[in-house]
Structure 1
Amino acid sequence: MKVLVVSDSHGWSEILTELKERYEKEVDVMVHCGDSELSDDDPAIAGYIVVRGNCDTEDEFPYDVVEGVGGRRIFVTHGHRYDVKLSLMKLKYKAQEYGADFVFFGHSHLLGAEKIDDAIFLNPGSITLPRGRREKTYAIVEVDKQQAAVRFFDDRHQELTELSHTFML
């Protein structure tokens, strides 16, 4: 399983189109974790699994999506409804309810990846307005039977190798 994860693009449709053109043939799924600020019929967001963020006005986007990909269960949310700026505790409980193997979220604009219990939690940061770093970022997750590799990239598609992490499954 290979997944592109992006969040908090805040109206920058060109980067979503660019990511799609670059990766759509090499990933199994493309995920947008909310605050796209685009309509559901915008061509830039077509092909992505999209959730509704606190800055989105589009009612067509759900707040949460649970999707099976490559034999794994992915839970996608923006994070504002789970207070992710304070703690991942509420998000962890919801992930357990869903039986999620992976939890992709945004909202804080802070990138990070960690394993909590048996699930991997990933915030790809913001592709437009990063916090904590100057790079605008997205992530690629590659999963095989034994491990999950998380790699972060900037908006020029340069890998931020010091942030890469591999989790044992």
Structure 2
Amino acid sequence: MAVERIDPPRTGGERETLRAYLDFHRATLVMKCDGLTDEQLRRRASPPSTLSLLGLVRHLAEVERAWFRRVVGGEDVPLAWSPEGDYQAAYDARGCARAEAFAAWEAEVAHARRIEAAAPSLDTAYHAARWGEEVSLRTVMLHLIHEYARHNGHADFLREAVDGTTGA
């Protein structure tokens, strides 16, 4: 599953730059998983933690779903891996295959891109029930960039533990 990672612009509009950085981090996650077997993708970093590369893919699918479909899009959809709303459930990928996790993640990214493109402005506010307050599209996009950047740091260590590969 090779992916081309874009180089975010050094100048440009705010929305274009936010989109580019979010796509850069999405592509980084895919690169960290490239070339590994399902078993390698499910390998846990340091048991008893269930954190694995595949768990990160599942978690970030949930993050995309929660923020773009539920908050910005206003859709009444449950979490993909926990109808009870337990975000931690996605991390446990023991019974999951690459195809399932990446299909869910790719679908959520496609929804997110569509919803973001349709939003009128970065200043448009949406109710984030989890936080109990209004958030702008700008905040949502920055939050997703933060989520990916943090978890891509985890992915660096996970990948190195699997096969020694470093760098992005």
Provide TM-score, normalisation by structure 1: 0.27
Larger Rg, first or second structure (1 or 2): 2
Of Structure 1 and Structure 2, the greater strand share is in 1
Larger relative contact order (C-alpha < 8 A, sep ≥ 6)?
A: 2
Of Structure 1 and Structure 2, the greater helix share is in 2
